[in-house]
Structure 1
Amino acid sequence: MVLELSTHTLVLKHPFTISRESHSTQDTLIVHLSMAGKTGYGETTSNPYYGHTLQSLLSEIKGIKDEIENYPFSKPEDFHQWLRGKNLSSFALCALDLAAHDLYGKLQNKPLYELWGTSVKSYPRTNYTIGIDTIENMVAKMKEKPWPIYKIKLGTKEDLDIVRELRKHSDAVFRIDANCAWTASQTIALAPALKELGVEFIEQPLKADDWEGMERIAHHSVLPVIADESCLVEEDVKRCALHFNGINIKLTKCGGLTPALRMIRAGRELGMKIMVGCMTESTVGISAIGQLLPQLDYVDMDGPLLITNDIARGIRICDDASIVFPQLGGSGIELLS
């Protein structure tokens, strides 16, 4: 294989604010893996919360470049297992794993969802995320992008007022993501009003390690609760099943499609709802997520809708939230020049 790396700065249409941070751009790293005239692409984003910069991610992958190029690639799962022995972060591992899957599918001339034995005749629609802002600006963002499902970021002193005002302007499904900003008491107290306002579920209301608080919520919340920051890797799924109704899998956090597929199976066996979310990736990362759609209950893959300078073609999200799947094999990614 031939390994190449490219870095990009994605520009957001609006400053993106959640309970713990705010940013107007997103740095991203693209891995290119080429073999037999085909190139697969994978993506990982920088993330201050988890301590990953473009420089650190580049350093990790460049450190084993020669080994990767000499690896006898045949299947992405075997490649992932080999990479696990190289002491890579999950973010770096994700980009390599996504590129390997895209390459493998292109070599087989079949999309990944077909290789996995699934069909895209039916799939969940992505939500569109409204970041924290003034209530007026959050309403304006929603009006700017009419959509059937909104994820609303909360973690302010005006959380209920925000949802009440947004509800006046849309009959869409609402999902709430507090990004660890609430307490158990707040969550339990807010849930009945949020349910009346048409909220479908609450995502990660408490700090990731507040298992005692999540147990209280599990017994008393009138709304389902989905784990995000509490469910990073495969080992977290079983514990989350005792405290949450579902899990939100992030490819960057778990290390790519290979472990994500195992997490989906494990979650299903435990009776959990399954969601896959994004980290404001370009169409490179989102096209990988799209291959999982037939296996999911919910999805947050709105990254390309939030940026002004997408860098690839692949999965295309239409104005009605339906998906146009690419004709290429793998994840169907073509990098724009």
Structure 2
Amino acid sequence: MKVSLKKYTLPLKHTFSISRESHDFQDSLIVALELHETTGYGEATSNPYYSITVESMMKEIKAIRKELEAFNFTTPEVFHQFLTGKGLTNFAVCALDLAAHDLYGKLQNKPLYQIWGTDIQTYPTTNYTIGIASIEKMVSKMKETPWPIYKIKLGTDDDVAIVRELRKHTDAVFRIDANCAWTFEETIHNAPLLKDLGVEFLEQPLKADDWSGMEKVMHKSVLPIIADESCIVETDVEKCGLHFNGINIKLTKCGGLTPALRMIKKAKEMGLKVMVGCMTESTVGISAIAQLLPQLDYVDMDGAMLLKKDIASGVEITKDGIVQFPKIAGSGVTLW
């Protein structure tokens, strides 16, 4: 099996700001796995919050390149089990796992959702993310991309006022993501005000390790609470069940589609709502997320929509939120 690695710097349409950082470009690693003249593609983006760079991921993968190329590939699950014993970060594992799933589907000549026995006739609509900026800029972004569901990034001194102003310009559903920036008191104060403004749920209002605070929030908030930074790997799902109403799974954080499938199953058994989110990936990563759509309650897969320039074809999202799945099998990715 041939392994290829390439770094891309993805330009964003607008400066993307959340409560802890801002950026105009997103560095991303694309992994290609080639077997029997068929190539599968995977992706993982850099992330300063988790101290991940493209260079660090490439170094990890290059260190085991000979083992990867000698590996007798059969299924993504067996490959993932092999990877977890190599001491890689989950981000590096994710890029390899996504490539393995795309490769496997292409070798089977079936899209992944079909291999998993799911039907794409019904699926949730992705939200479109509005990063922190001046109110004028946030309104401008909404007008530029009219959408039925917006995820609003917050974490300022005037969060409710921002949402109140944005509400004047759209009837869309709002979802709020504070990225760990609020306190318990702020969350409980803001929740009823935001509910009256058409907010559907709150995502990760408190710090990731504030479990006691989150348990109190869940019992007192008038809005559902979805875990993000508190739900990284499979073992976090059960703990989140006592502190949140649902979880947001990130493929890069958990290590790819293989563990994400198990996390979805576990969350549903616990009665949690399930969301899968993106990390401003290109169409490579977004196409992998899209294969999970029939299994989800919510999805945040607008990463490629936020880019000024994409690097691949695959799943496409129309202006009315309809997902167009490619005719190519696997995740359906073709790198340009």
Using the size of structure 1 for normalisation, the TM-score is 0.99
What is residue 257 of structure 1 aligned with on the other side? 257
Q: Which amino acid aligns with 1:297?
A: D
Runs of 4+ in 1 over 6 A off after TM superposition: none
What is residue 228 of structure 1 aligned with on the other side? 228
1:33-112 to 2 correspondences below 5 Å: 33-112=33-112
The answer on 1:32 being equivalent to 2:32 is yes
Q: Which amino acid aligns with 1:115?
A: I
Cα deviation for residue 177 of structure 1 reads 0.1
1:155-170 to 2 correspondences below 5 Å: 155-170=155-170
The answer on 1:176 being equivalent to 2:176 is yes
CA distance in 2, matches of 1:211, 1:22: 27
Q: Which amino acid aligns with 1:208?
A: A
CA distance in 2, matches of 1:126, 1:281: 14
What is residue 191 of structure 1 aligned with on the other side? 191
CA distance in 1, matches of 2:310, 2:66: 30
What is residue 200 of structure 1 aligned with on the other side? 200
Structure 1 unaligned spans of 5+ = none
CA distance in 2, matches of 1:12, 1:88: 28
Secondary structure of the corresponding residue to residue 43 of structure 2 = strand
What is residue 289 of structure 1 aligned with on the other side? 289
CA distance in 2, matches of 1:170, 1:227: 26
CA distance in 2, matches of 1:40, 1:227: 31
CA distance in 2, matches of 1:54, 1:282: 14
Aligned residues: 336
CA distance in 2, matches of 1:218, 1:127: 23
Using the size of structure 2 for normalisation, the TM-score is 1.00
Q: Which amino acid aligns with 1:28?
A: S
Cα deviation for residue 218 of structure 1 reads 1.1
Structure 2 unaligned spans of 5+ = none
CA distance in 1, matches of 2:308, 2:66: 35
Q: Percent identity?
A: 68
Cα deviation for residue 257 of structure 1 reads 0.1
CA distance in 2, matches of 1:113, 1:292: 7
What is residue 130 of structure 1 aligned with on the other side? 130
Q: Which amino acid aligns with 1:238?
A: E
Cα deviation for residue 54 of structure 1 reads 1.2
- What is the CA deviation profile of residues 68-117 of structure 1, one whole-angstrom value per residue up to 9, with x for unaligned ones? 00000010000000010000000000000000000000000000000000
CA distance in 2, matches of 1:215, 1:272: 14
Secondary structure of the corresponding residue to residue 192 of structure 1 = helix
CA distance in 1, matches of 2:54, 2:232: 20
Secondary structure of the corresponding residue to residue 86 of structure 1 = coil
CA distance in 2, matches of 1:195, 1:257: 33
CA distance in 1, matches of 2:139, 2:155: 17
- What is the CA deviation profile of residues 104-132 of structure 1, one whole-angstrom value per residue up to 9, with x for unaligned ones? 00000000000000010000010000000
CA distance in 2, matches of 1:315, 1:56: 28
